[in-house]
Structure 1
Amino acid sequence: MKKFFYITLFTLFVSCTSNTFYKAPKDLIPKDSMVTLLTDMYIASSAKNVKNKFLKKEKNYVGLVYRKYKIDSTRFKSSNLYYTSLSEEYAEILKEVKTNLDSLENLYRFKKIKKDSLPRKKKILNEELSLKLSDKNQKLQKPVKKPKAVK
């Protein structure tokens, strides 16, 4: 009975490991292209819920990404399946995608701050100029003291 238990336990542990590796498809998307493709796919999928300037939700942008890279959905799915079977490589790809997304976020955040700061700078300069002018006006409007008559 003990032998049967140990054999069953050993079989259970061996069968739980995931050693499923798929063959590379003939039209595999290269790793560097997959990084840029996934970056654009994440942006497109997150933009699906954002309203455009006409306050309407646009349709799915993923098709535009496929058109940009001149691939179809089956090629992407087969390449993605292959890379997901290689978990270490896929983890590296996703780290690069996250790095790309973070750098894009920082870039656009900086552009927004720069764009927003221009009117603020103009406002500050206008306020400083108006303060200087009001100081000059106050100096000019001060009553001049008449000299005392000499007796």
Structure 2
Amino acid sequence: MRTKIFLLISALWLLASCSDSNKTPKGILPQKQMVDLLVDMHLSEAINGQRFRLDQTTKNFSNDLYFSICKKHDVDPDVFAKSVLYYGKHPEKYDAIYDQVLNRLNEMEEQAKKEEPKLKPDDGKK
């Protein structure tokens, strides 16, 4: 009897996990595309931060970056905003997206460190 109950519960769990509830609704960017956009958004924020630190900002520079990234990825800014709101209401999906974003940014940072020119230590002579 316990085996039948276990099999029934397992079958129901399997059906529930395969349902369309995990599908992204129409009009929402798929997770991979969100990762691509968010990586570029974070890189642009870093560029903007450097420009601000160097006092080279223009009034609408961050907005220009935002729109240029949407244009680069051929995504309507409203669709991106709607997607951010959707994923914000589904933290388990957003966590998975941001895990990928952080992994990619970390990989880029490691690659940049490998490609940095090796500086010789200053021996104090001039």
Give, in whole Å, the separation in 2 of the partners of 1:31 and 1:41: 15
Q: TM-score, normalised by structure 2?
A: 0.64
Correspondent of 2:118 among 91, 116, 130: 116
Alignment-mate amino acid for residue 38 of structure 1: L
Aligned residue in 2 for 1:31? 31
Q: TM-score, normalised by structure 1?
A: 0.54
Correspondent of 1:80 among 77, 81, 84: 84
Alignment-mate amino acid for residue 63 of structure 1: F
Give, in whole Å, the separation in 2 of the partners of 1:38 and 1:55: 25
Mapped contact 1:66–1:72 kept (Cα < 8 A): yes
Give, in whole Å, the separation in 2 of the partners of 1:95 and 1:29: 17
Unmatched tracts of structure 1, length 5 or more: 1-23, 121-151
Structure of greater relative contact order (alpha carbons < 8 Å, 6+ residues apart): 2
- Identity rate, percent: 24
Aligned residue in 2 for 1:99? 103
Return the index of the structure with the highest Cα Rg. 1
Give 1:30 shift.
1.0
- The 5-angstrom pairing of residues 118-133 of structure 1 reads 120=120
Give, in whole Å, the separation in 2 of the partners of 1:63 and 1:85: 24
Unmatched tracts of structure 2, length 5 or more: 1-23, 121-126
Q: Displaced runs of 4+ in structure 1, greater than 3 A?
A: none
